[in-house]
Structure formats: structure tokens, C-alpha cells
Amino acid sequence: MISVVIPIYNEEEIIALLHDAVSTAMRQTGETWEVVYINDGSKDSSLELLRQLQRTEPEVVVVDLSRNWGHMGALHAGLQTARGDAIVLMDGDLQDPPELIPGMVDRWLQGTKFIICKRSARDDPPGSRLFAFIFYKLVRFFVVEDYPSRGYDLALMDRALLPYLQNTSKNINPPLFAYWLGFEPEVMLYERKKRVFGKSRWTFRSKVKLFLDSLLGFSVAPIRMISLVGFLVSLASLGYGIWIVFNALRGKTVVQGFATIVTITSLLLGLIIIMLGVIGEYVWRIFDEINKRPESVIDEIY
């Protein structure tokens, strides 16, 4: 069985077209399949439309979450529910074409456990492209050096990867985590389409959270950079102190430099605040993990 896991949030305009494209692609595989739609607290009629599909389509499973838990929480709920021997992860906006699924299934049947669809180009707004460029540069530098330079959302993974993904801690980026596991992926190239229907709910706040989760959840580099900056500032301060003492011994002490003192003090206080903020992000993630709060709550499974 192949399970297709798709989070849905306020996508009433596209659900019928999305399901038609996914079911057409899955029938081409010749395998048994299911599609797991996760309603992530939609405020429109998305749940009703999904329920209508579920009543008439035996392959449809609808997971209704108690509220909006975010894209990653919805993905995790879908991974907990999927029953397939292979799991396809994809978004519900049709920017990543379902037509690629039969090719991924063929490669899986030939023995490949992890197949990703890598973007060769993306027709997104300039701001989104700039954020994605910076984000993936930092991910490649700090976390996984060979991570796809434009990222990926559409992927197929064997059930052998599923226990690791189901048992991850909260605040984890599932695509990045799946790649980080070390299974050698087979890559399929495609051009990411422009969104035609609806409006993206991928807000700037969501992007920043994903960036922090991806960087701080996989890398100790920020903490080590703080240590390095602290060492360099301490070294510079020691050198400056030696210079002041040397001038005092030579009798060249002058009462000047108020602007210099204020500038240096402001710089150091700014560095301290930033460093405490980064440490606080790590401490929050420790607290969020040990308090055992759920990443998402399933209200009903249809």
C-alpha cells in the first residue's frame, strides 16, 4: 500500500482538483493506495468537502485536528495515521505536481527507500525566493551540507524511515529530519509551479519558526559561534586594557573617549542580549520537549 499524506488548511477552492490529480496519479501506479488528508483547523468548508470525498471514495482518510497546529504538526499527525508500506509527503497547493508520484513509486519498487523531488526552479514571489535562498544556504552550511539547494516538499519514503519520523521531538522539520537520517535519496527534478488557487498561509512568522526549528533543532553551531564571538571580544578587550595600562605608565592618560566608551558598551550589551536570546531558544526547546505537550491533537479520524 502507498499512503499519500497531505495537510490541508483553508483549501476549499482546490480540494476537488487536488484529489482528482492525486487519485489519477495513484491509479497509474497499479498499487493499493490511500490518501490521508489532515484538516489542520480549517476555518472554511475544507472539512465538509473532505468528508464528502471520504463518503464516496474508499481510499480517502480524513484526520481532523482539534485546532490549527501548523504545517509540521499536521504532517506529524498524518505520519502517525498512515498505514502504507511507503509514504508520500506533499503539500495541498498543487505547486508540487502529483504527476511525479508514479515515477517515485517505480523507483521504490526497484528498491530505493527514499526518493525526493528536487526543485530545479520555483515560480514564487521575489520575497519568498529570497527567504528560501538564505534559509537553504544556512541549512547547508550548519546542518546538512548536501541538502538540496532549493529544498523539497514532495517525497516518498519507505516505511523503514517511519518509526524515526513518528518518534521525533516537537519543533522538528520532517523533510529536513528525513534527509538528515542518512538514507541515500534518489533525486527527481521538476519546476515548482506558481500557485493558481487560493492564498498561501505560509506567513513570515511561520517561516521564521521553521528557520529556528531547522537550525537550532539540528545544529550546535549557534552555541559554538557564541563562544567564538565571546572569545574574540574578550581577546580584543584584553588587548585594549593592556594598551590603556601601557599609556598610563607612560603618563599619557587623557580624559577623553566618552563616545568610544558608549559605543563599545552598546555593542557589548547588544551581543550579550543576542547571545542570551539564542541560548534561550535552546532552553525553550528543552522545556517544550520534557513537558510532554502534544505536537498536535486529533479530534476525529474518518
By three-state DSSP, how is residue 297 classified?
coil
Predicted confidence (pLDDT) at residue 287 exceeds the cutoff of 80: no
Q: Are 302 and 62 in contact (CB under 8 A)?
A: yes
Nine cell digits for residue 156: 516518498
Question: What's the pTM value of the predicted model, to 2 decimals?
Answer: 0.76
- pLDDT band of residue 86 (cuts 50, 70, 90) is very high
pLDDT given for residue 123 in this prediction: 66
Q: Are 17 and 208 in contact (CB under 8 A)?
A: no
Summary mean pLDDT of the chain: 84
Of residues 29 and 278, more confidence is placed in 29
pLDDT in tens, 150-180: 778 899 999 999 998 888 776 677 888 888 8
Of residues 71 and 205, more confidence is placed in 71
Distance in angstroms (rounded) separating the CA atoms of residues 219 and 217: 6
Distance in angstroms (rounded) separating the CA atoms of residues 184 and 178: 10
pLDDT given for residue 200 in this prediction: 62
By three-state DSSP, how is residue 186 classified?
strand
Instruction: Determine the average pLDDT of the residues in 52-64.
Output: 95
Instruction: Determine the average pLDDT of the residues in 247-258.
Output: 67
pLDDT given for residue 42 in this prediction: 92
Predicted confidence (pLDDT) at residue 280 exceeds the cutoff of 60: yes
pLDDT given for residue 283 in this prediction: 80
In single-letter form, the type of residue at position 11 comes to E
pLDDT given for residue 257 in this prediction: 66
pLDDT given for residue 222 in this prediction: 76
DSSP classification of residue 95: S
Instruction: Determine the average pLDDT of the residues in 177-194.
Output: 86
Nine cell digits for residue 2: 502507498
Burial of 102 (0-12, 13-18, 19+ CB in 10 A): middle
Predicted confidence (pLDDT) at residue 213 exceeds the cutoff of 90: no
pLDDT in tens, 105-116: 999 999 999 999
Predicted confidence (pLDDT) at residue 207 exceeds the cutoff of 60: yes
DSSP string, 262-288: HHHHHHHHHHHHHHHHHHHHHHHHHHH
Q: Report residue 184: phi and psi, to 5°.
A: -65, 115
Sign of CA dihedral 196, 194, 171, 77: positive
pLDDT given for residue 276 in this prediction: 81
How big is the chain, counted in residues? 302
pLDDT in tens, 20-53: 999 999 999 999 999 999 999 999 999 999 999 9
Q: At a CB cut-off of 8 Å and minimum separation 6, what does 71 contact?
A: 7, 9, 40, 202, 206
Q: Are 106 and 99 in contact (CB under 8 A)?
A: no
Which range has highest mean pLDDT (53-57, 124-128, 201-205, 273-277)? Answer: 53-57
Q: Are 13 and 197 in contact (CB under 8 A)?
A: yes
